[in-house]
Amino acid sequence: TGFDLIIRNGTVVTASDTMLCDVGIRNGKVVALADKLGTAAREIDATGLLIMPGGIDSHVHLAQPTSDGSVMADDFESGTRSAACGGNTTVIPFSLQERGTSLLKSVEEHHQRAKGKCYIDYALHAIITDPTPQALEKELPQVVQGGVTSVKIFMTYQDMALNDAEIFKVMEATRREDALTMVHAENFDAIQQMTERLERAGQTGPRGHAESRPIVVEREATHRAISFAELVDVPLFVVHVSGGDVIEQIEWAKRRGLPIYAETCPQYLTLTAEDLDNANMEGSKYVCSPPPRDKANQKACWDALARDVFSTFTSDHCPFIYGSDTGKKKAGADASFKYVPNGIPGVETRLPILFSKGVSEGRISLNQFVALSATNHAKVYGMYPQKGTIAIGSDADIAIWDPHKRVTISQSMLNHNCDYTPYEGMELKGYPVTVISNGEVVAENGRPVGSAGKGKFILRGKSSLVPSRHPFEA
Ligand code: URP
Ligand code: ZN
Ligand code: ZN
Ligand code: ZN
C-alpha cells in the first residue's frame, strides 16, 4: 500500500512478456506488478489499454549547430515535448564537435542547451568530426566517463565526413574506451561527383537529392565501415539503413559472426523518392539522408524488422522549417538541392507509425514493437534496466496506448516546432493516450501536461554490444 500511482486493469507488455496486472509506482520507480494492488494517491484505469515501456528515441537531433546557416527547428524544450506526446520518455540527441573545436567542450555546450528545458529524460551521443590526438586520447575518456558512451561518425557531409584513416583512428579510440561506434554510411566523394553530373544536366530540383545518392552509395560505405570494424575489432552500429542492398550487407556481416548492428526509421517504411519529385520546393520537405527509396526497399525494411535484423527503430528527427529563410528554403525557392538542409521531423510520429503499420497491420508482434521502440535502445546504449522495460526497480517511464484509437496525422495536432509533417494525412490505428515519465504524467491524448524542466540527464553505462574484454586481451 501507499503507492503514488497505480495503473489498473491494463495489459502490461514488455519485449518478452504480455501480462494482465496492476502497476504500482512510488518515488518515480516501478515497485509492484501484481493482481489488485492496494491504494494510491492517484489511479489510472487502463482497462482495454496497453501499458508499455515509454519509447526511447536513440537518434534525434535537437538544437544541433550547423555550418551552413540553417537552424534546427526544435530545441530541447519543443523536441522533448513533441517526443513525450508521441509516447516517448527518453531521447538521445547528438552533441556535435565542429572541426577545429574541442570534443569535450561540444558535449558540455550541449548539456547547457538541455539544462532545465526537458519534459522527459535525455542522454547524449558525441559526434566526432575532428579526431585529433587531443580529442581521441585526452577528451574521449572524459566524455565516456561522463556517461556519453557512444560516438557517431559521418562518411558524408561537407565539414563532417571522415576519411578512411580518420575512421580507423576513431574506431581504435572507441575500442580503447569501450564506447559504441555509430556510423552514417554514405560515400561523400561519390555523392559530390553525382551532384556535379546532375547540375550539368540541369537537374537541380529536390528530386536530384535522391538521384545524387542512390543506394549503391550507402551500400559501399556500409561495407567499408563494416570492414574497418572487422580490422579494428569493434562492434559497429549502422544508423538509418534505407533499403535492401544495405540490409544485405548487415546480414552478410552478421552471418560471418561480426558484431554489426543497425537501425531503420519511419521514412524508409512509408516515403519514397517520388515524394521529393515536385516542380516547386515542396519536395524539399522530404529531403533527408539517406533519401527515401522505393516500394521494394520499403518492403525490404519491413521484412528486416520482422526478422529482427534491426536492433532499433528511430526517428532521425532533424527538423527544418519549410517557410523560413533558415530552413528548407534558406538558399532561395529555386536553389539547387545541394543547398537544402538534410533532415525531416518525426520524433512524435515514429511510434504511432510503427504501431499502426507494424502491429495493427500484423507485420510485427506487440513484443517486437516494445523491443524496437524501447528495450533494445536501452540495452544498446547502456541504460538497461533503468530504462526500456517495466520491472521492479525500473524508472516509471510508461506509455499507455489505446490500440483502437484512430488518428489522422496532421501538422495541426503535433507539438514540435516545425511547420509541416512529411506524414500529413496518414491514417493510423493505435495511439499513446497517457505518457508517464519518472512516475508523473507528461502527456495526455497527444498534448503536453505540466511544464518543461523535470527531465534529467541519464549517465549511460557501457553498451551491451561492447564486449567485456579480459585484461590479457588488451
Ligand atoms: O538527413 C538527415 N538524416 N539529417 C540528420 C543528420 C543525419 O545524417 O543523421
Ligand atoms: Zn546520419
Ligand atoms: Zn541523424
Ligand atoms: Zn575473452
Q: Looking at residue 278, what is its pLDDT?
A: 72
Query: What pairing do the DSSP bridges indicate for beta strands 125-127 and 121-122?
Result: unpaired
* For residue 333, pLDDT beyond 90: no
Distance 319 CA to ligand 1 centre (A): 10
Q: What confidence score (pLDDT) does residue 290 get?
A: 98
Q: How do residues 116-145 score in pLDDT, each as one tens digit?
A: 999 999 999 999 999 999 999 999 999 999
Per DSSP, helices labelled H in 201-259 are 207-212, 215-232, 244-255
The rounded Å distance from CA 343 to ligand 3 centre is: 7
Per-residue pLDDT reduced to its tens digit, 74-95: 999 999 999 999 999 999 999 9
Q: What is the DSSP letter of 457?
A: B
Instruction: Look up the pTM and report it.
Output: 0.98
- CB under 8 Å to 449, separation ≥6 — which residues? 441, 442, 443
Q: What is the pLDDT of residue 279?
A: 65
Q: CA 193, 152, 394, 372: dihedral to nearest 10 degrees?
A: 20
| CB-side neighbour CA atoms (13 Å) of 20 | 3
318 ligand 1 Cβ < 6 A? yes
pLDDT band at 366 (very low <50, low <70, confident <90, very high): very high
Answer yes or no: is pLDDT of 474 > 60: no
62 CA to middle of ligand 2, Å?
Answer: 13
Task: Judge whether 231 and 165 are in contact, CB under 8 Å.
Answer: no
Report, as an integer, the average pLDDT of 293-309.
98
Rounded CA-CA distance 306/424 in Å is 26
Q: What's the DSSP call for residue 375?
A: I
Yes or no: say if 86 and 350 are a contact pair by the CB < 8 Å rule. yes
Instruction: List the single range of 7-21, 268-282, 358-372 with lowest mean pLDDT.
Output: 268-282
Q: Which protein residues have a CB closer than 5 Å to ligand 4 (ion)?
A: 470
User: Does ligand 1 come within 6 angstroms of the Cβ of 211?
Assistant: no
CB 185 within 8 A of CB 152: no
3-state class of 256 per DSSP? Answer: coil
**94, 157, 212, 240: residue to mutate for ligand 1 pocket, most atoms within 8 A of CB:** 240
Q: Which residues pair with 260 in a beta bridge?
A: 236
CA distances from 58 to 12, 81, 93, 158, 373 (A): 23, 16, 7, 24, 9
Taking CA atoms, 130 is separated from 71, 134, 176, 382, 431, in Å, by: 22, 10, 18, 25, 42
Percent of the chain with pLDDT over 90: 97
Half-sphere exposure of 277 (CA within 13 A, CB side): 9
User: SS3 for 430?
Assistant: strand
Q: Which amino acid is at 40?
A: A
C-alpha cell at 86: 508521441
CA-wise closest residue to 206 among 309, 143, 128, 292:
292
In the reported structure, the alpha carbon of residue 232 is separated from the centroid of ligand 1 by a whole-number distance in angstroms of: 26
pLDDT one-digit tens code per residue, 140-158? 999 999 999 999 999 999 9
Mean pLDDT over residues 278-299, rounded?
Answer: 93
pLDDT category at 18 given cuts 50, 70, 90 is: very high
Instruction: Report the residue among 342, 344, 347, 418 best suited for mutation to probe ligand 1: largest number of ligand atoms under 8 A from its CB.
Output: 342
Give the pLDDT of residue 251: 98
Query: What residues does the ion ligand 3 have nearby, CB within 5 Å?
Result: 316
What mean pLDDT, rounded, does the chain reach?
97
Q: Label residue 334 by pLDDT band (50, 70, 90).
A: confident
Over residues 383-399, the mean pLDDT reads 98
Is any ligand 1 atom within 6 A of the Cβ of residue 344?
Answer: no
User: Which ligand number lies closest to the CA of residue 184?
Assistant: 2
Give me the pLDDT at residue 280, please.
72
Count of alpha carbons within 13 angstroms of residue 40, beta-carbon side = 21
Determine if ligand 1 sits within 6 Å of the CB of residue 317: no
Kindly state the average pLDDT of the residues 181-185: 98
Say if the ipTM goes beyond 0.90.
yes
Distance CA 220, CA 224 (A): 6
- In Å, how far from its chain's centre is CA 378? 12
Say whether the peptide bond before residue 290 is cis (omega within 30 degrees of 0): yes
Distance CA(77)–CA(70), nearest Å, equals 19
What is the per-residue pLDDT for 473?
64
Distance in Å, CA 381 to ligand 4 centroid: 21
Is 428 a residue whose pLDDT tops 70?
A: yes
Mutation choice for ligand 1 from 288, 340, 350, CB with most ligand atoms inside 8 A: 288
Mean pLDDT, residues 368-396 taken together:
98
Q: Which of 61, 125, 158, 209 to mutate to test the pocket of ligand 1 (most atoms within 8 A of CB)?
A: 61
Atom 9 of ligand 1, nearest CA residue = 316
Stretch 225-229: mean pLDDT = 98
pLDDT at 281: 85
Does residue 6 have a pLDDT over 90?
Answer: yes
| Ligand 4 centroid, distance to 392 Cα (angstroms) | 32
* DSSP result, 88-129: EEEEEEEEE--TTS-HHHHHHHHHHHHTTT-SSEE--EEE-S
User: Is omega for the bond preceding 292 within 30 degrees of 0, making it cis?
Assistant: no
Is the pLDDT at 430 greater than 60? The verdict is yes
Q: How far apart are alpha carbons 277 and 288 in whole angstroms?
A: 13
CA distance 116 to 453: 4
What is the atom index within ligand 1 of the atom nearest the CA of 184?
8
Tell me which residue has its CA closest to atom 6 in ligand 1: 343
Ligand 1 neighbourhood includes 342 CB (under 6 angstroms): yes
Q: Which residues contact 260 (CB under 8 A, 6 or more apart)?
A: 226, 229, 235, 236, 238, 250, 253, 254
pLDDT for res 166: 98
Q: Return the minimum-mean-pLDDT range out of 111-115, 153-157, 330-334, 429-433.
A: 330-334
Q: Is 316 in the pocket of ligand 1 (CB under 6 A)?
A: yes
